Amino acid sequence: MASAANSLRICLRTCRQLPTVRPVVRPAFAARPFARRRALSSTPARQADENDGAEAPEEVKRYYNPAEVIKDLLREEGLTEQQRETLTQTLTQWGQMPEEDKKRFEDMRREVHASTSQIRYVVKPKKDSFWNEEEKDTDLITDEIGEDDFEEDDMLSIGHAKLDEHRDAREYARIAVWEMPLLSRFAKDFVPPTAEEPLRFRYTTYMGEFHPADRKVVVEFSPKDVPELSEAQQLKLMKLAGPRYNPEKGLIKMSSDRFEHQAQNKRYLGDLVQKMITAAKDPTDMFEDVPLDTRHHDFKVRPQFPKEWRITEERQKELQEIRRKALVLDEAKRKSGALIDGKEVIKNYLESMPAHREPEPSMVRRGGPAKGRLGKGKW
């Protein structure tokens, strides 16, 4: 009967490809015995798998029985007559085999299935292993690649950031070359402000970026530039301005950032200046008994260059004449030999000195040994 079993094995190998069965649970024969808890142990006890000891599913049992496998193959379409005839003969031989040989053959298939079960199952890393990585926190993932691992098919985030900077630079360069020259059609000639426009506004911008200080507006004007005010009214306006008046420059400076937009702050400052001018025109009280207070301003003394020291044309001609007379006097002394040459005097002095000079006297300490840092001896 060994020949019948051998022919059956050859037929199953040549006529079909065994189906790949992926059971959900482990079969009973591959179960691991549960390790009992020990009284003294240096390693923690592990709980047995919940599928250990479970019975094998029905499809695995059919895989152990060759007769069921051959019947499934005969139901398939696309088999040739020779293959069907071979499978039929194999099924007949399997039916004629004794039960002992069938049981031995099923045990052999069960052993092969158990030895290859590790290939069919997905091996999960152990949480207590040394090389196991921790689970990724999806809330902290900020990479552009996403949650997938880096597969060496793309640049890192630093490279993408450099590319973004390069794109921004190219975009601004493109705007400067192609779009900014078109702004020349909107250019207007500068027209200086007239006497009817004494107010000067100053704005702050951060080139499109949001900033709390970009809504601030500053206005400056001189009371003397307001044509509709007299000298007494101008003095009253200076007194109304208080610490906002600069006595050195003669300007009144005010600012506002209480509103959200620059136009609103400008409108507020314009109305405030108009109210101050209206109050200065009020002849009811001209504040004649109130002196102009300038204690808020720190006067800085700037030294001026004396006018007497300035070089005029007459002073320049006088200095040139003095220099010319000094040169003529030196030339006369040189010809007569009365002019003293400093370099020549130093050279003659060094040559007249002896080759060996006596050593200079040095200070000698008198008294006992030194005590402390400097000692108590006499010099």
One-character DSSP codes across 224-274: GG-TT--HHHHHHHHHHHGGGEETTTTEEEEEE-SSSSHHHHHHHHHHHHH
**Model-level pTM?**
0.40
Query: Which residues lie below 8 Å from residue 117, measured CB to CB, with a gap of 6+?
Result: 26, 27, 30
Q: Which residues pair with 217 in a beta bridge?
A: 203, 256
Q: Supply the pLDDT for residue 40.
A: 52
% of the chain beyond a pLDDT of 70: 67
Q: Supply the pLDDT for residue 145.
A: 46
Q: Supply the pLDDT for residue 164.
A: 94
Rg over CA atoms, the chain: 55
pLDDT higher at 109 or 365:
109
Give the DSSP letter string of 51-109: TTTPPPPHHHHHHH-HHHHHHHHHHSSS--HHHHHHHHHHHHHHHHS-HHHHHHHHHHH
Residues of the chain with CATH 3.30.160.20: 200-281
pLDDT higher at 62 or 161:
161
Query: Which residues lie below 8 Å from residue 279, measured CB to CB, with a gap of 6+?
Result: 236, 240
Tokens 């020291």, located at residue? 309
Q: Supply the pLDDT for residue 5.
A: 56
**Mind listing the pLDDT tens digit for each residue in 121-179?**
665 666 665 555 555 445 544 545 445 566 677 888 899 999 999 999 999 999 999 99
pLDDT of residue 297 exceeding 60, the answer is: yes
pLDDT higher at 25 or 189:
189
pLDDT of residue 24 exceeding 50, the answer is: no
Q: Supply the pLDDT for residue 50.
A: 45
Following CA atoms 243, 245, 249, 251 in sequence, which dihedral angle do they give, to the nearest 10 degrees? 150
Q: What is the mean pLDDT of residues 32-61?
A: 50
Q: Supply the pLDDT for residue 292.
A: 94
**Mind listing the pLDDT tens digit for each residue in 1-23?**
445 556 556 655 554 444 444 44
Q: Is residue 172 helix, strand or coil?
A: helix
**Mind listing the pLDDT tens digit for each residue in 76-126?**
877 888 888 888 888 888 788 888 877 887 787 778 777 776 666 665 666
User: Comparing C-alpha atoms, which of 46, 50, 48 is closest to residue 127?
Assistant: 46
Sign of the alpha-carbon torsion through 334, 336, 337, 342: negative
The CA distance from 106 to 66, in Å, is 8
The CA distance from 316 to 214, in Å, is 55
The CA distance from 184 to 127, in Å, is 69
Q: Supply the pLDDT for residue 72.
A: 80
Q: Supply the pLDDT for residue 338.
A: 85
Average predicted confidence (pLDDT) for the chain:
78
The CA distance from 68 to 59, in Å, is 10
**Mind listing the pLDDT tens digit for each residue in 184-238?**
999 999 999 888 899 999 999 998 788 999 999 999 999 999 988 999 999 999 9
DSSP 176: I
200-281: which CATH topology? Double Stranded RNA Binding Domain (3.30.160)
Q: What is the mean pLDDT of residues 333-350?
A: 87
Q: How many residues does the chain have?
A: 379
Q: Supply the pLDDT for residue 53.
A: 45
pLDDT higher at 56 or 309:
309
DSSP 375: -
The CA distance from 345 to 352, in Å, is 11
Lowest mean pLDDT among 129-133, 160-164, 241-245, 328-332: 129-133
pLDDT of residue 356 exceeding 50, the answer is: yes
Distances (CA, A) of 158 to 139, 162, 163, 364: 21, 6, 9, 73
